[in-house]
């Protein structure tokens, strides 16, 4: 992957997204232009329905824009086919979901190994040791051989973050990753996500206003499908 030094890691230009609802069209995102640099910790906030998930799904190539351009590390992802996007995403983006989405019949360490198997990353013999090292990094090495259902919500989300890091992607994206956790577990998970920027990751998270100053360096507020506020260059409180 070529990383273009001096250019933003992520560049959106005039991006819009419309959903077709029968004969009606609903515009979920309108003419969004924004840049995100390497190593930023960006919090997306905004009311329910403001377009946060839609925007995140465009950045990961899970969905494609109706108009506009999205470049990530110099790659024009709006021009990629579904097959190209699947390969690109597996190697470049780690995704953390609200409901963890661990496969229930695989152990925790097997869940973390999955992305390496899918993308054929790392030598086969390295995959399990690498997954175990990630579980150690996330503070749950003793949960490796359990099934997801035997872990608490916070432990499952830590495992899901380990899985997101499996292929060492430059970008980690999370959509309300603490929406299903209690307040103190939620703080631990947010802190872990924010700390990934210290390892050189760019972290993009849909979250709540109260998390912003503590765990993120930039707040992007969405409203009715538009960027209604951007603290770029203002919030720099995280270590």
Ligand X SMILES: Nc1ncnc2c1ncn2[C@@H]1O[C@H](COP(=O)(O)OP(=O)(O)O)[C@@H](O)[C@H]1O
* Contacts to ligand X by CB under 6 A: 19, 21, 26, 28, 46, 48-54
* Binding-site partner at residue 28 among Mg ion, ligand X, none, CB < 5 to 8 Å by type: ligand X
* Binding-site partner at residue 193 among Mg ion, ligand X, none, CB < 5 to 8 Å by type: none
Identify the helix (H) or strand (E) that includes residue 156: helix 153-164
Please say which residue, 18 or 114, places its beta carbon nearer to ligand X: 18
- Please count the residues of the chain: 239
Give the shortest CB-33-to-ligand X separation in angstroms: 18
Q: How far apart are CA 39 and CA 239, in angstroms?
A: 12
* Binding-site partner at residue 49 among Mg ion, ligand X, none, CB < 5 to 8 Å by type: ligand X
Q: Nearest Cα to 55, choosing from 193, 212, 226? A: 226
What single-letter DSSP state applies at residue 146? S
Give the shortest CB-37-to-ligand X separation in angstroms: 23
* Binding-site partner at residue 94 among ligand X, Mg ion, none, CB < 5 to 8 Å by type: none
Under a CB-based contact definition with an 8 Å cutoff, are residues 10 and 72 in contact? Answer: yes
Please say which residue, 28 or 159, places its beta carbon nearer to ligand X: 28
Give the shortest CB-152-to-ligand X separation in angstroms: 26
Q: Which residues bind Mg ion (CB under 5 A)?
A: 52-53
* Binding-site partner at residue 186 among Mg ion, ligand X, none, CB < 5 to 8 Å by type: none
Give the shortest CB-11-to-ligand X separation in angstroms: 20
Please say which residue, 2 or 48, places its beta carbon nearer to ligand X: 48
Phi, psi of 62 (to 5 degrees): -70, -35
Q: How far apart are CA 68 and CA 182, in angstroms?
A: 38
Residues with Cβ within 8 Å of residue 34, at least 6 apart in sequence: 10, 11, 12, 220, 227, 230
Please say which residue, 134 or 190, places its beta carbon nearer to ligand X: 190
* Binding-site partner at residue 26 among ligand X, Mg ion, none, CB < 5 to 8 Å by type: ligand X
Residues with Cβ within 8 Å of residue 176, at least 6 apart in sequence: 98, 206, 207
Give the shortest CB-53-to-ligand X separation in angstroms: 3
Give the shortest CB-206-to-Mg ion separation in angstroms: 6
**Centroid of chain to Cα 36:** 13
Under a CB-based contact definition with an 8 Å cutoff, are residues 39 and 202 in contact? Answer: yes
């Amino acid at each position: 992957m070529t990383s273009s030094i001096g250019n933003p890691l992520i560049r959106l230009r005039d991006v819009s997204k419309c959903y077709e609802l029968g004969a009606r069209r609903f515009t979920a995102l309108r003419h969004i232009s924004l840049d995100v640099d390497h190593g930023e910790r960006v919090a997306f906030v905004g009311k329910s329905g403001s377009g946060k998930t839609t925007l995140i799904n465009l950045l990961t190539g899970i969905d494609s824009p109706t108009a506009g351009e999205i470049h990530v590390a110099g790659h024009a992802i709006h021009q990629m086919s579904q097959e190209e996007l699947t390969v690109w995403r597996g190697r470049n983006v780690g995704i953390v979901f609200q409901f963890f989405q661990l496969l229930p019949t695989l152990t925790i360490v097997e869940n973390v190994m999955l992305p390496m198997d899918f993308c054929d990353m790392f030598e086969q013999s390295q995959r399990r040791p690498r997954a175990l090292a990630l579980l150690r990094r996330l503070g749950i090495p003793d949960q490796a051989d359990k099934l997801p259902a035997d872990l608490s919500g916070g432990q499952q989300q830590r495992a899901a973050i380990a899985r997101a890091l499996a292929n060492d992607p430059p970008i980690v994206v999370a959509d309300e990753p603490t929406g299903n956790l209690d307040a103190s577990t939620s703080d631990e998970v947010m802190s872990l996500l924010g700390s990934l920027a210290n390892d050189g990751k760019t972290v993009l998270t849909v979250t709540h206003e109260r998390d912003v100053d503590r765990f993120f360096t930039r707040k992007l507020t969405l409203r009715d499908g538009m960027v209604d506020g951007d603290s770029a260059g203002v919030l720099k409180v995280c270590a």
